Structure 1
Amino acid sequence: MMNWKVYFFSTWCTVCALCLFSACTHSRSDQGTEEQVPDVISYNFNIRPILSDKCYKCHGPDASKREAGLRLDMPESAYQALKDNPKAHALVPGEPSLSEVYKRISTQDTMELMPPPASNLKRLSAYEVDLIKKWIKQGAKYEKHWAFVPPKLPTVPQVKNTAWPKNQIDNFILQKLEQKGIDPNPEADKERLLKRLSLDLTGLPPSLPMMDSFLADKSANAYQKMVDQLIQSPQYGEKMTLHWLDVARYADSHGYQDDNYRSQWPWRDWVIHAFNENLPYDKFVTWQLAGDLLPNSTQEQLLATGFNRNHKITEEGGVIDEEYRVSYVTDRTNTFGKALLGITLECAHCHDHKYDPFSQKEYYQVYSFFNNVKEVGIQSTVGGPETYAKRPMMQISNEEVKKVLNFINKQDTAKLIVSVMGDSDKVRPTYILKRGNYDAHGDQVEPGTPQSILPFTASYPKNRLGLAEWLFNKNNPLAARVFVNQVWQEFFGKGIVKSSGDFGMQGDLPSHPELLDWLAVDFRDHGWDIKRLVKQIVLSATYRQSAILTPEKAKSDPENTYLSRGPRYRLPAEFVRDLVLASSGLLTRTIGGPSVNPYQPPGLWENATSGRGILANYKQVHGPNLYRRGMYTLIKRTVPPASLGIFDASNRDQCEVKRLRTNTPLQALVMLNDPTVLEASRVLAARLLQDNNSTSAKVTKAFRLIMCRHPQEKELTILTAYYKDELKTMKKADAEKLLSVGEYPLPVNADKITLAAMMKVVDTIYNLEEAITKT
C-alpha cells in the first residue's frame, strides 16, 4: 500500500475542484407532501401493509403469538364475534363506529389503544387511521395478497403526451407521471446514453471507436443498432451472469473454518454461455433445478445443476454428519424461495410464518424436493484435488470439453470435477423438524408447495422436475414477476418491487403494479425470452431519460420512484474494477475459466485460516491473469476480496438478489491507493504520452476513455493546469516511487517525471465520482 500525504492531498484537492463542475445537478428536499386518502380504498395496497406492519405480530398467521384468538389476516376471523366479548366484532362492514379495530386504533385511552404502547410497535398515523375508517365504511373487503394472484395482461394505458412513449413500458410510466403532474426528463445526450447502455449490457465502458461511431451515426435507428451490437457481444453474458452468481451464492471455496478450494467455476462458464445463447428462462432455471432428472439428460444439463451445490460445505472433522446434511438441504430450500419465488420461505423453517400464509409443514414439503440428494454432511477433510468437489459430482474430460462442453475455458490437462445434483434411488423420508432442529423429527410430509401460491397437484412428478413444472405453470403468480423485477432492478437500480427478495406481506408494494404484470405476462407469453425483455427495457424512453435531478423533481420524486429521470448510481464492485482495467487498456478479455488472485493486502488469508488446504496462503497471479474482470476474482468465503467487499460485493454466503449500495470513505481510499487503480493510471498515462499531440489532446483522450464523454472547458482547464503544476513540482524520487506500483513494465527510456505527472492526472479522473457512476 502507498501512503504519501502530499500525493493524496494534491490528488484529492483536484478531485474536489472538478466535482464543483459536475455535469449533473444534485439536489435534495426533505419536505414531504400531505397524503390524501384515495377515493376507493384497496385492501392490498392501502390496508394490508398497515395491518402487516402494526397488527400481525399479535393478530396474524403465527398461532403461537396470537392474542385473544383474533386473526386480522383472514376475513372469517375478523368478522366473527370476539372471543373475549361475544357482543363485539373486530370489523363490522360499513360501520366503523361498531368495529373494535377502528375504535381501538383511534382511542386516546392508552389502556385501550392498539397497538399497545408496551408492544414497541408504532402507533398508527392519523392518515392510516383514516384509511382504515374509510375501508370499513366501504365494506371492509378483503383481497388475496396481490403477489399470490396470477398476473393478467393489463390494457396498455392511454397518455396525453403521445409523442414521448417509444414502447408499451413508457405508457405505464407516463400515465403515473401525468397523474402526479410530473414531466419526464428529456433524453440523455448521446455520450452519456452510450456509457449507460454499454455498462448495462456488457459491464464495460464503450471504446473510443464505439463512441466516435455512435456520435457520427445520425440515422434514426442509431441507438437501436448499438443495442443490437452490445447485446450480441460475448461480454453481455458476463454482465448478466454477475447478478446470477449472487443469486446462486457462487464462490471458490467451501466455507466454514477450513474453507478449502472448490472447482465449481465450469458451472459459471455455463451460465455465461446460457445468457449469450439466450437460453429461455424456463429452461435456464429448469436445467439448474433438475437437469439431471430430464429425460435423456445431457452433460450440459447435468452441469447446470451445479446451481444447487454452490452452498457452503464443511470439511471439518468431528462435525455431526446429519446436522450439516440438513443445513445443505435447508440452504437449497431457502434459495429456491428467495431467488425464484421472491418470498421469505426461510421464516417458516422453525415455525409457521408470522406474516405470510406459509406453514412450517409447507416449508418442509418444499424441503423434501431437495432432501433426496446422494450426499453426506461430511464427506472428507481438507486434502488434494479429490476434495475440490463433493459427491454427487461429474468429471469433465478434455474430450468432452472439445466436443460437447466447448464453452468451458479449460486451461490445463488436470482433472476437472464439479459438484452437481443426483438423487438416491431410494426416497429419503422427510419430517417436519421441530423448531428447525436437525434431530427433532415431527410428522412425516410429502413433496408439496404453499397452497396460497399454487397447489402442487398429482399431475406433477414428486421430484425436482415436478417442482420446476409447478414453477413455470401459467397460473404460478410469482415466477415471471420475480424475474422481470430482478432484471428491471439491474437497469434502474431498484425493482418495481423494491424488496426484490420479498414479494410477501412485509415486502414493498410495486410502484407500478400494472407494468409489473404486463412485463411478466408478456415475458412468459413470448417464450421466456431474456434478450427480448432486456431490449424492451433499454429501448424505452423511460430508460433513455437524462439523469439530471432538478430541485422540482427532488421534491416531487426524490427517490425516482415514478421514474421521472434516468438511473444514477455507483457501479457494482466488479464493474468498478472492469472500468479501470478496460479504460487503461490493461483488461484481459478472456471469457470464463478458473478464478484468479489479483493484488491483495498481505496477510489477510494467513490471519484467518486453519492452515490447511491450498487456500491457506494467498498466491497472487501474474501476467495477463492479473488483469482479468472482477467477476473472475477468487472468492474465499471466510476472507472475501477486500477491494470488492468495500464496494458492497457479496461474500456469497447465501442467496442474495439485491446488493446493498453504501457510500463510505473507504471507497475513496481504495480509488486513491489500490494498486490496480494506480497501475492502470500509470499504463494509460504511458500510452497517452506515446501520442504525438498536445497536452490538451492527451487529457481529453484520457477523460473520454474513463468518463466516456468529452470534458467541459473548465474540467479540461483544471486538469491541464494540474499536469503543468506537477511537472514543475515533481521530484525524481517521488516520481520513481509513484511509478513503481504494479507489475506491468514501464516503457523503455520513459521520462519518469513526465510520466508520473500524467499518471496523477489520470488517477484524478478515476477518482471523480462520475467515473464509477452510471448516469
Structure 2
Amino acid sequence: MNIRQLVLSLFSLIPLFIYQACGTKDGAQGELISQGIADQVSYNFHVRPILSDNCYACHGPDANKREADLRLDIEDEAFGALKDNPDAHAIVPGKAENSEVYRRLISDDPSIKMPPPESNLSLNEREIETIKKWINQGAAYEPHWSFIPLKEVKLPTIEDSDWGINEIDRFILQAQLENGFQPNPEADKESLLKRLSFDLTGLPPDLELMDAFLANENGATYEQIIEQLLTSPAYGEKMAVYWMDIARFADSHGFQDDSYRSQWPWRDWVIHAFNTNMSYDQFITWQIAGDLLPNPTKEQLLATGFNRNHKITEEGGIVDEEYRVMYVTDRTNTFGKALMGITMECATCHDHKYDPITQKDYYQLYSFFNNVQERGIESVVGGPETYAKKPFMHITDEDVRSILSFVNKKDTTELIVSIMGDMEESRNSYILERGSYEVHGEEVSAGTPESILSFDSGFEKNRLGLAKWLFDKNNPLTARVFVNQIWQEIFGRGIVATPGDFGMQGELPSHPDLLDWLAMDFMKNGWDVKHLVKKMVTSATYRQSAVLSEDKRNRDPENIFLTRAPRDRLKAEFIRNLILASSGLLNKEVGGPSVKHYQPSGLWEGATSGRGILSMYKQDHGGDLYRRGLYTFIKRTVPPPSMTLFDASNRDQCEVERLITNTPLQALVMLNDPTMLEASRVLAASLLKENSDATKKIEKAFRSIVCRYPEEKELLVLNKYYEGQLQTLSEEVASELLQVGEYPLDKSLDKLSLAAMMQVISTIYNLEESIAKT
C-alpha cells in the first residue's frame, strides 16, 4: 500500500497523523470538512504525499528526468516564474486560480493537463481540492518530517481517564479518544505471559513460570518477570534473529558456487552484545568502524564482520572490479536502509527521484566503504582458506579463553572471520555513470547528504567519522529509525510502517509525536536498548487484550491506533523454538556454528555447481538437531525450506521487516515436518511416563504448547480424539508413526498409546493459536 492509498483508506477514520501534523489538540479544530480535508492543510502530511506519488518523477530531485526545468519539491523553484512562460508561476501562494499547478490539474485539455494522461497517473477530486486549499492557505512548505532534527515533545494531557502506565500510553490514548475508540482491557495473565516470553526470549514460558505467574508466587509479578526474561541468555538470541536479517548474515558466500563461510563467531558477538546491553551507539560504531578505533581489540575487530556479511563470488571468469564494486555498493545500501531508513540505492544510477539525495551524495557515502583491502574474487572454491575472505582475523584458543570468551568454539578447528581493514592509501572514488563499475564520472570524497546532516570538518573522513556523524545529536534519523524497528518487533507494525524508507515515498508515521518522544528518551538514556524494550512492554498499550471487536475491525482493521494487542504469527525461528522447547528437546546451548537439521533430500544437490563442501547436504545429528532456529544453517541459494515457507529471509540483502503470509504449504509443514512429528513423539513419551490419567496428560501438553489451560470443551474434543486413535490405529501404522526422528524411542512404552498421544499432540501443534502471539 502506498501513501496515497493509506491516506485514502484512513480518511474515514479521521487519522491521528492529520491531527498531530496540524498541531490540533481538540476535536473541533481537527474535524474534517465535508470532502475529507483538514481545516489546516499540512504540506508534510497532506500535500507532499500527493505530489510525491504523482509529480516528483518529472518535477522532483532527479535532474535527468526533470521536465520543463521545474521542481515542485523546492519552495523557491515552485514559486518562481516558469522558464517557458515568465508571466506564469507554478504556485502563487494564496491564489490557487493563478497557480499553473492547480489550473493544469483541473484542465480538460490533454495537451496541458497534469499529470499527463499517458503517465497513467491522476488525482481524485479530494486530492485536487487538498492542493487548492493548501495553496489558498499560503502554500507553506515544510522540510520532510524525518529530516527535521529531534526536539522535546510535550506529553499529552488526558483528562478523566486513569488508563495508562507510562508515557507511551498517553500518546496512544489521546489518539484513540480523538477517533472515538477506547483501549481494550488488559489481557489475561496466560496470554500476557506467552506474549512477553516470545517477545523477550523467542521461547514459550515453561510450566513452572506459568504456575508462578498465575499464583503471583516466588516474586513472579509482571515487572519481575520482565527483569528475569531480560537477563536470560535467550534474550540476546531472540534479538539476534532480527539483527541477522538486517546484517544479511548467512553461512555461505552466495552466487552459483555458494560455498561455506565461517562468519558465525560474529553472530556470537551480536548475542553477547545484546545480552550485556551494549549501548546502541557503541554496538553500531564497533560494527561500522571497530577497526579504526584507537588500538582496536579483537572484539572490536570481530564486530566489523557486519560489513563483510554480503554475498561474495568464488567463480572464475568474472571481472574482478565489477564484483568488488558490488560489495561496496552492498555495504553502502545496507548502511542507508538499516541505520538511516533511507533508500540510498535509488541514487546509484541517477539522482533520487523523490528524496533530496543526489547521485553524488550516494557515491560520497559509498567512498567510506571503498577502501577495504579486498578483491572481487580471491580464490576458487576449495578448502578452509576460502571460508573467510581477506581481510580476516584468526580466532585462537587463547582468544576464546580471554577477550572472546563469548565465542562458542567447540573444537580445535582454526576459526577465521572476515572483518574490515582499510588500505594504507585510500582508493579514489568516483560517481559511476548509470551505476556502471567501469564508467567513472566526477571524483568524490567522503561525505553525507546535506539534506540529512552536513558532514563537516568535525568528523574524520573515514568510517569512524561516519559513525560519529550517525550518532550526532542533530542527526534526525538514527534514533527514530532504531526505535521504529524495535516498536515493530514488539507491536508487529512500525510507527512508520515502512521501516526501511523514512523518505518521501515511505509511509507517514501513525504517531509522530510518540516516535519523537521515544527517540529522544532513547538518546537521553544513553542509547540503552533494554531500557527501550522495557518501556514498551511495561506499557498498558502492550498489555491490552488481542480481542477484536466488530467495530474495531471495521474502523481500524490494521490496528493503526493500537486499540488492541496484535495477534501475529510467530517468526519462523520462534515456531521452531516453540516445538523444541515445549517437547523438551530444545538444546539451550548459546552460540557456536550453524547446524543442519532435517531437510528433504536432493535440494542442495539439485541447485549447485557441484563444487565445494556445500555441494551435498550433510545433516547434523545428536544435540545439534535440536538447536533453536537462530542457529539454522542458511545456504543462500537453497535456504532451509521449512523456515522459508514461514517467511524467513534468505539473507541475500539487508531486510528490515518480514512479510507475513498464509499459505497451504505452511499447514503442510506443521503436519509433516520431521522435527514437529519427532517433538510430538518425544512429548507423548514423556507424558506417558507420568503417573496421571489421559486428561491430565493432554492438559499438560496443551499448556506446554498453547501456553494456557484448555477449556473444558477443548479437553473433551482432544480426549475423544485420543480414545478414537487408540481404537483405530493398527500396530503397523503406530510403528510407522513412531519411526520419525533420530531421538531414541522408548521401547518400554505401549506403541498404540504412544502413537495415539503423539497424534493428539501433533493436533495441538497445528492450532492457529499455538504459533501466534495472543
Same fold, TM-score > 0.5, yes or no:
yes
Unaligned runs of 5+ in 1: 1-28
How many angstroms apart in 2 are the aligned matches of 1:30 and 1:765?
38
| Structure 1 residue aligned with 2:66 | 66
State the alpha-carbon separation in 2 of the partners of residues 772 and 494 from structure 1. 18
Amino acid at match of 2:651: R
Residue 645 of structure 1 corresponds to 644
Which residues in structure 2 correspond to 1:316-355 (within 5 Å)?
316-355=315-354
2:254 aligns with 255
Residues 1:243 and 1:621: Cα distance change in structure 2 (over 3 Å): same
Greater relative contact order (CA < 8 Å, ≥ 6 in sequence): 1
2:98 is aligned with 1:89 = no
Contact 2:11 2:36 in 1 (8 A): no
- Residue 130 of structure 1: how far off its partner (Å): 1.8
Q: Does 1:371 align with 2:370?
A: yes
Which letter does structure 2 place at the counterpart of 1:77? E
Aligned partners of 1:109, 1:551: CA distance in 2, in Å?
Answer: 46
**Deviation of the 1:219 alpha carbon:** 10
TM (normalized to structure 1)? 0.95
Judging changes above 3 Å, is the alpha-carbon distance between structure 1 residues 561 and 446 closer, same or farther for their aligned structure 2 residues? same
In the TM superposition, what is the alpha-carbon distance from 1:174 to its structure 2 partner?
Answer: 0.5
Q: 2:433 matched to 1:434?
A: yes
Instruction: Check the 8 A contact 2:448/2:455 in 1, yes or no.
Output: yes
1:10 counterpart residue number: none
Deviation at 1:713, TM superposition (A): 1.4
Tell me the distance in 2 between the aligned counterparts of 1:32 and 1:526.
38
SS in 2 for 1:541: coil
Distance apart, 1:269 and its partner CA: 0.0
Find the counterpart in structure 2 of residue 9 from structure 1. none
State the Cα deviation string for residues 526-572 of structure 1 (Å, max 9, x = none). Answer: 10000000000000000000011100111221100010001211111
| Matched-pair contact (CA < 8 Å) for 1:31–1:555 | no
Paired letter, 1:241: A
Deviates more, 1:643-652 or 1:688-697: 688-697
Secondary structure of the corresponding residue to residue 567 of structure 1 = coil
SS in 2 for 1:395: strand
Is the CA contact 2:57–2:353 (under 8 Å) kept in the aligned structure 1? yes
Query: Aligned residue for 1:395?
Result: 394
d(CA) in 2 for partners of 1:549, 1:162: 22
Worse-matched range after superposition: 415-424 or 64-73: 64-73
Aligned partner of 1:450 in structure 2 is 449
> What is residue 577 of structure 1 aligned with on the other side?
576
Q: Take 2:419 and 2:107, find their aligned partners in 1: how far apart are those partners?
A: 60
Q: After superposition, where does 1:4-83 map in structure 2 within 5 Å?
A: 36-83=36-83
Identity %: 65
The Cα shift of 1:746 comes to 1.1
Q: Which residue of 2 aligns with 1:694?
A: 693
Residue 412 of structure 2 is matched in structure 1 by 413
Matched to 1:119, the amino acid is S
CA contact 1:577–1:630 (8 Å) conserved in 2:
yes
CA contact (8 A) 2:546 2:567 kept: yes
In the alignment, is the contact (CA less than 8 A) between 2:68 and 2:83 conserved in 1?
A: yes
Task: Tell me the CA shift for residue 220 of structure 1.
Answer: 10
2:356 corresponding residue in structure 1: 357
Alignment correspondent of 2:277: 278
Q: Structure 2 stretches of 5 or more lacking a match?
A: 1-8, 14-33
Correspondence for 1:564: 563
Aligned counterparts, 1:494-643, within 5 A: 494-643=493-642
Deviation at 1:35, TM superposition (A): 6.5
The answer for the alignment partner of 2:6 in structure 1 is: none
Which runs of structure 2 are paired with 1:129-144 in the superposition (5 Å)? 129-144=128-143
CA apart distance, 1:221: 8.1
Instruction: Look up the equivalent residue of 2:188 and give its one-letter code.
Output: D
**In the superposition, relative to structure 1, how do residues 31 and 531 fare at CA in structure 2: closer, same or farther (>3 Å)?**
closer
C-alpha displacement of 1:576: 0.7
3-state SS in 2 of match to 1:774: coil
Task: Tell me, in whole angstroms, the C-alpha distance in 2 between the residues paired with 1:153 and 1:696.
Answer: 57
Q: CA–CA distance in 2 between the matches of 1:66 and 1:96?
A: 23
CA deviation profile, 1:672-704 (whole Å, cap 9, x unmatched):
010011111111111111111121111110100
SS in structure 2 of the partner of residue 490 of structure 1: helix
Query: What's the counterpart of residue 30 of structure 2?
Result: none
SS of the residue corresponding to residue 542 of structure 2 reads: helix
Counterpart contact for 1:497–1:503, Cα < 8 Å: yes
Whether contact under 8 Å (1:650, 1:656) holds in the other structure is yes
Question: Which runs of structure 2 are paired with 1:111-150 in the superposition (5 Å)?
Answer: 111-121=111-121, 123-150=122-149
**What's 1:475 paired with?**
474
Deviations 1:342-379 (A, max 9, x none): 00001101111111010011100000000111111111
Shift in Å, 1:112: 3.6
**Counterpart Cα distance in 1 of 2:469 and 2:566:** 35
Partner of 1:755: 754
Corresponding residue of 1:24: none
Superposed, which structure 2 residues align to 1:231-250 within 5 Å? 231-250=230-249
CA distance in 2, matches of 1:353, 1:345: 8
Inter-partner Cα distance in structure 1 for 2:724 and 2:224: 44
Q: For residue 115 of structure 1, report the CA deviation from its aligned partner.
A: 1.4
Is the 1:81–1:88 Cα contact (8 Å) retained in structure 2?
Answer: yes
Aligned to 1:664: 663
Q: Secondary structure at the match of 2:223?
A: helix
Report the equivalent of 1:214.
213
State which drifts further: 98-107 or 533-542.
98-107
**2:728 maps to 1:707:** no
Normalised by the length of structure 2, the TM-score is: 0.95
Contact 2:212 2:218 in 1 (8 A): no
| Residues 153 and 522, structure 1, Cα contact 8 Å, conserved in 2 | no
Which letter does structure 1 place at the counterpart of 2:438?
D
Helix, strand or coil at the partner of 1:444? strand
Q: Does the CA contact (< 8 Å) of 1:676 and 1:742 recur in 2?
A: yes
Query: Residue 735 of structure 2 aligns with which residue?
Result: 736
Q: How far apart are the structure 1 equivalents of 2:695 and 2:221?
A: 30
**Superposed CA offset, 1:252-282 (max 9, x none):** 0011111010000000000000000000000
Q: Distance in 2 between matches of 1:109 and 1:58?
A: 19
Question: CA separation in 2, counterparts of 1:390 and 1:718?
Answer: 57
Give the distance between the partners of 1:143 and 1:545, measured in 2 at CA.
Answer: 36
Shift of 1:162: 3.4
3-state SS in 2 of match to 1:544: coil
Q: Which residue is 1:5 aligned to? A: none
SS in 1 for 2:438: coil
Matched residues in 2 for 1:703 and 1:95: separation?
Answer: 68
Deviation at 1:113, TM superposition (A): 2.8
Shift of 1:161: 4.6
Answer with 747-756 or 461-470: which moved more: 747-756
1:154 touches 1:518 (CA, 8 Å); kept in 2? yes
**Matched residues in 1 for 2:328 and 2:94: separation?**
49
Q: Is residue 255–residue 638 contact of structure 1 (8 Å, CA) maintained in 2?
A: yes
Cα deviation digits, residues 435-494 of structure 1 (max 9, x gap)? 111111111101000000001001111000000000000000000000000000001111
CA distance in 1, matches of 2:534, 2:356: 36
Rounded Cα–Cα distance in structure 1 between residues aligned with 2:646 and 2:474: 39
Moved more, 685-694 or 390-399: 685-694
How many residue pairs get aligned? The number is 746
Whether the aligned pair in 2 keeps the contact of 1:484 and 1:519 (CA below 8 Å) is: yes
Partner of 1:673: 672
- Out of 503-512 and 681-690, give the one that drifted further: 681-690
Query: Quick one: distance in 1 between partners of 2:402 and 2:75?
Result: 61
Query: Cα RMSD over matched residues?
Result: 1.4
C-alpha deviation, 1:747, in angstroms? 1.1
Q: Which amino acid aligns with 1:522?
A: D
